Amino acid sequence: MIVPIGLLLLGLGLLVAEVFFPSLGTLAILSALSVIASVVFAFKESPEAGWWFLGIAVLLVPATLFIAYRIFPLTPFGRRMIVSGPSFASEEHSASDPRGFGLEGKEGIALSSLRPAGVAMIDGRRVDVVTRGEFIDPGARVRVLEFSGNRVVVVPTGGERAASPA
């Protein structure tokens, strides 16, 4: 019973090594062969032992992968390999365009057809805007409803059209 246990442990160890040291699948193939060989040798011992080893392998292989992938980012090598993305935890470090802050409630003029996205002149500058689904013609007056991320959402004000959408 020593050989099946040793082969199963070897297979799980090779699986962990594949996670930490990518070998283009070489270690993964060796791991699979080792786990399969452990089940085959267990079946040679007795059918009952074979079924037990098969069940254990089916449970331990995904568990080992899960644990290895959870530990990998905590290692020095893992920290160098994994790039941290933008943090949305605070306003000052968010992925928002800072020029959009303070636009909420301001009015402007649609420079292009907003179907539902387009361009408007708000607060003296051109801004990419979207509507909530309405189509707005060029020259119509719009008001900024909300700003989130990099989306400036506008609604028609219902006022008169501007003389020229310059």
pLDDT in tens, 92-146: 545 566 666 778 899 999 999 999 999 999 988 899 999 998 999 999 999 999 8
**Strands, E, within the chain: which ranges?**
107-110, 117-122, 125-130, 141-148, 151-156
How does pLDDT run across 36-74, given as a tens digit for each residue? Answer: 999 999 999 999 999 999 999 999 999 999 999 999 988
CA atoms within 13 A on the CB side of 62: 3
Each domain of the chain, given as residue ranges in start order, spans 2-81, 92-156
Please check whether residue 106 is in contact with residue 123, taking contact to mean a CB–CB distance below 8 angstroms: yes
Q: For domain 92-156, is the CATH number 2.40.50.140?
A: yes
CA atoms within 13 A on the CB side of 116: 11
Calculate the alpha carbon distances from 106 to 60, 87, 146 in Å: 59, 28, 10
Q: CA-to-CA distance for 14 and 20, rounded, in angstroms?
A: 10
